Amino acid sequence: MILHLLDYAGVAVFAISGALAAGRKSLDVLGVVVIALVTATGGGTIRDILLDRNPVFWIGEPTYVVVIVLAALATIPYTRWRRPPLQSLQIADALGLAFFSIAGAQVALGAGHPGLIAVIMATITGAFGGLLRDVLCNEIPMILRKGQLYAVAVIVGASIYVLLLDLGISRWPATLTGMLAVAAIRFAAIVWNWSLPVYSLPDAADRSPD
Amino acid sequence: MILHLLDYAGVAVFAISGALAAGRKSLDVLGVVVIALVTATGGGTIRDILLDRNPVFWIGEPTYVVVIVLAALATIPYTRWRRPPLQSLQIADALGLAFFSIAGAQVALGAGHPGLIAVIMATITGAFGGLLRDVLCNEIPMILRKGQLYAVAVIVGASIYVLLLDLGISRWPATLTGMLAVAAIRFAAIVWNWSLPVYSLPDAADRSPD
Amino acid sequence: MILHLLDYAGVAVFAISGALAAGRKSLDVLGVVVIALVTATGGGTIRDILLDRNPVFWIGEPTYVVVIVLAALATIPYTRWRRPPLQSLQIADALGLAFFSIAGAQVALGAGHPGLIAVIMATITGAFGGLLRDVLCNEIPMILRKGQLYAVAVIVGASIYVLLLDLGISRWPATLTGMLAVAAIRFAAIVWNWSLPVYSLPDAADRSPD
């Protein structure tokens, strides 16, 4: 029950991040709702399709759709009068990321896949909704650019979760440690502006093999 | 039989809209065919994957592919000598949208999904081919921008269709009313230039929680 | 066994092409790895989802993921000191394309689909990884632009493969002839700069039907 409320809260935070991104592109109200839906459901949907899980999570439980639409619609009047509480949203987003990515790893392990696939599914569940959002907004996805260790946090946290399970640690401590690691790395990246090195080719190499 | 011809006609109209969009980007002839295929099959393909229907509609009936390729190839010489009949194409497109979106809702209801999922599948079937077309052409999807009530028409029409069925109206009247609603809203939007309000964030909010 | 090594080599070449494309966009190191993964697995993944094959090829055999990540990571230091050997990469890429596209056609025929679907699956397997790479890098996909007969090579080669099988030729000669045709057309296009005509609409037609 509490897990379910957390789940809805996480989806709502992703929906708000989608609505804010849409607002920066001056889309119409329905476009905002579509972007919010894609942002909040995209990662889990790609995971479910890749793992052939039926039904896809929001089709089996349409309450997700209702929560997302309400969160997106509430964002619009809110930001007419007040600035979005970006600090709080970032913290909520980091918690949502921690929650969804470890849940994604659990789904993959539960279906009998190896740890490497679980880490990839964690990344897809946590980060590919935002990737689709950025593709629809016609931008290079944020998680690929010099960023704030968004995908790194997921990969490290999910790897810790998988390793702890492999070492025989039981499920709840492993889950909490993994989520904590994701959130901690994101917080550190936000506070101290950590980032990965950029790979930038000189112009001389600027001709593709195909 | 007549339904089948309508189906092919609708697919052909979507293929032509894809070919014209490709022409504005100066793609090569094969690129035009690929864009036409993605535009005309994309929405139904995403619907079939999300609902786990096998085979995907055009894989089960490759005649669709033939119709689309011919429509795209016919568009190229036609527009060398004459301007495309945009008015007629818009009308055909509205009819195609009405036909495909209500068909998408029927598929979802037939698979036992609730009305909310049926409305979403109607939107995906009718509008996501054009969304993929715009992503491939490197533009923010038209249906998300201040537009001519493209997705709105689908949502209202599909909702009416679902409601009528819920009220015990039998299938054919409900289908025709739903299609009529989609087409009527599109026509009204084209003729009177109706549109939804735009959601545009001030610069002060221009920092995303990512 | 040798086929398997060829398979890994092909995937590695696609990963390198993805990493080089990412380098031109100044992504961070992890972004480079993600683009390499999408480029190298994207086409086969879409094929497997469309044909409802489970598990998706790299989920069933995660060694692919390891090969791709290593190839992408090796590309980064290499290009710091030396220019990428673009000529050799183009040749390797043409061989990889030949290999994967005919393999994609085989998968479709093996699942009982007709020749037209096999040719489409060959194109998707060979070319849609690069298409996703370009979408993520926010560019109009290379295979759609006036190019070097990338998709044409696949379509002609896969069609020859399907026709030879239809004529009763046995599997290995048909496979080799199909692959040879793909590679030969790509080589010819690279050496003599062959390309398809471009379809470009005049401004007068620059209004979309929707």
Write down the ipTM of this complex. 0.91
Strands (E), chain C: none
Determine whether the interchain pair C27/A131 forms a contact, defined as Cβ–Cβ distance below 8 Å.
no
Please check whether residue A32 is in contact with residue A77, taking contact to mean a CB–CB distance below 8 angstroms.
no
In this complex, is the C-beta atom of B26 within 8 Å of any C-beta atom belonging to chain A? no
Determine whether the interchain pair A198/C90 forms a contact, defined as Cβ–Cβ distance below 8 Å.
no
The nearest CA of chain A is from the CA of B207 a distance in Å of: 8
What type of residue is C114?
A: P
Q: What is the pLDDT of residue B1?
A: 76
> For residue C149, what is the DSSP state?
S
Would you list the DSSP string of C78-95?
HHHHS---HHHHHHHHHH
Give the long-range contacts of residues A110-116, CB within 8 A, separation 24 or more: A111/A51, A111/A53, A113/A51, A113/C55, A113/C59, A114/C62, A115/A159, A115/A162, A115/A163, A115/A166, A116/C62, A116/C65, A116/C66
Q: What is the pLDDT of residue B203?
A: 53
Which residues of A are less than 8 Å from B206 in CB distance? 24
Residue pointed to by tokens 């079939």: B48
Chain mean pLDDT for chain C: 90
Determine whether the interchain pair B113/A59 forms a contact, defined as Cβ–Cβ distance below 8 Å.
yes
Determine whether the interchain pair C93/A209 forms a contact, defined as Cβ–Cβ distance below 8 Å.
yes
CA C133 to chain centre: 11
Determine whether the interchain pair C150/A210 forms a contact, defined as Cβ–Cβ distance below 8 Å.
yes
In this complex, is the C-beta atom of B66 within 8 Å of any C-beta atom belonging to chain C? yes
Which residues of B are less than 8 Å from C126 in CB distance? none
Q: Quick check: B177 pLDDT over 50?
A: yes
- Token digits for C86? 């673009």
d(CA A55, CA A57): 6
Nearest to C34 among A117, A135, A144 (CB): A144
Q: How many CA atoms within 13 Å lie on the side-chain side of A62?
A: 9
**Position B15 confidence tier, pLDDT thresholds 50, 70, 90:** very high
Average pLDDT over residues A144-162: 90
Nearest to A17 among B113, B195, B210 (CB): B210
The nearest CA of chain A is from the CA of C119 a distance in Å of: 21
d(CA C45, CA B117): 26
Closest CA to B184 of B161, B203, B156: B156
SS3 at position C146: coil
Q: What is the pLDDT of residue A25?
A: 86
Residue pointed to by tokens 């599948």: B121
Q: Alpha carbon of A136 to those of A39, B145, C70: distances in Å?
A: 10, 11, 30
**Each residue's pLDDT tens digit, A77-119:** 888 777 777 778 888 889 989 999 999 999 999 999 999 999 9
The nearest CA of chain C is from the CA of A53 a distance in Å of: 11
d(CA A81, CA A21): 17
Return the domain boundaries, chain B.
2-196
Q: What totals of helices (H) and strands (E) does chain C contain, helices first?
A: 8, 0
Helix (H) or strand (E) holding A95: helix A86-110
- Angle at which helices A86-110 and A150-166 cross, to 10°: 40
Which residues of C are less than 8 Å from A117 in CB distance? 59, 62, 65
Helix (H) or strand (E) holding A114: none
**Each residue's pLDDT tens digit, B157-176:** 999 999 999 999 999 999 99
The fraction of chain B above a pLDDT of 90, given in percent, is 63
d(CA A183, CA C93): 40
Closest CA to A200 of B175, B164, C25, C62: C25
- Non-local (6+) Cβ contacts of A184 within 8 A are none
d(CA B138, CA B132): 10
Query: How many other C-beta atoms are found inside a 10 Å radius of the C-beta of residue B179?
Result: 22
Q: What is the pLDDT of residue C1?
A: 76
- Token digits for C128? 């849609």
**Each residue's pLDDT tens digit, A46-69:** 999 999 999 999 999 999 999 999
Q: What is the pTM of this model?
A: 0.93
Query: Which chains have 3 or more CB–CB distances shorter than 8 Å to chain B?
Result: A, C
d(CA A118, CA A112): 9
Residue pointed to by tokens 């946090």: A153
Most confident range (mean pLDDT) of A8-12, C79-83, C119-123 is C119-123
In this complex, is the C-beta atom of C50 within 8 Å of any C-beta atom belonging to chain A? no
The nearest CA of chain C is from the CA of A1 a distance in Å of: 32
Q: What is the pLDDT of residue C203?
A: 53
Query: Which chains have 3 or more CB–CB distances shorter than 8 Å to chain A?
Result: B, C
Q: Which residue in chain C has the smallest CA separation from A124?
A: C34
SS (H, E, C) chain B: CHHHHHHHHHHHHHHHHHHHHHHCCCCEHHHHHHHHHHHHHHHHHHHHHHCCCCCCHHHHCCHHHHHHHHHHHHHHHHHHHCCCCHHHHHHHHHHHHHHHHHHHHHHHHHCCCCHHHHHHHHHHHHHHHHHHHHHHCCCCCCCCCCCCCHHHHHHHHHHHHHHHHHCCCCHHHHHHHHHHHHHHHHHHHHHHCCCCCECCCCHHHCCCCC
Average pLDDT over residues C80-100: 84
Q: What is the pLDDT of residue B79?
A: 80
